[in-house]
Copies of this chain bind each other. A is one copy, B any other.
Amino acid sequence: MTDEGPDAEAAPGGLRVHVPIHLRWGDLDAFNHVNNVAMLKILEEARVRALWKDEGVDAFPTAVISVEGTGGVGTLIARQEIEYLRPVPYQREPLDVQLWFGRMGGASVEVCYEVHGPRGLEPAELYVRADAVFVLVNLTTGRPVRLPDEVRAAWTPYLGEPVDFTHRR
């Protein structure tokens, strides 16, 4: 725990945000483990919590995007890649979704994820590696928006190594 926020910690190459996300039993599919698509819903929720503005006292320092209101910007996903390392059972403690940035362009950003088992639980499990590229868009016009300086400043400490996927052709 550092002064960077309630759940941020230094990792090789930069800080990571740690977003606790609860599974829902409904995330399981007929094979009785978390469905591969449901895992992307979990990444989506982690991204919203980590990046979209939040007035709460424990807000992540990266939560700076204003989605609502005049001039609201959204995050439009351009691409995603995800690698499933082992099946995820339903469990009650929140998964530890770790999130950082692999690259920041003019209007587009690569966000990187690792999904771990609940913090503090042994044995530690790494379930998923993923990344996504999103573009900031003005929600009224649908047009791309340059990354504002204050957003860039808030996110820069969380720049780190891109995801090193194991199985890539």
Contacts and interface: CB of A to CB of B under 8 A. Distances in A.
A161 interface: no
A25 B50 CA distance: 12
Interface residues of A, number: 45
The number of times this chain is found in the oligomer is 4
Contacts of A79: 81-84, 165, 167-168
Contacts of A77: 36, 84
A103 interface: yes
What's the dominant secondary structure at chain A's contact region? Answer: mixed
Interface in A34-59: 35-37, 40-41, 44-45, 48-49, 54, 56
Nearest to A85: B78
A48 B22 contact: no
Interface string A102-133: 01000000100000000000000000000001
30 contacts: A22-B22, A24-B41, A24-B44, A24-B45, A25-B29, A25-B30, A25-B44, A26-B29, A26-B35, A26-B41, A26-B45, A28-B29, A29-B29, A31-B76, A36-B40, A36-B77, A36-B80, A37-B37, A37-B40, A40-B40, A49-B92, A56-B92, A78-B83, A79-B84, A79-B165, A80-B81, A81-B82, A110-B169, A133-B167, A162-B169
- Give the top 3 A-B pairs by smallest Cβ distance, nearest first: A36-B77, A28-B30, A25-B48
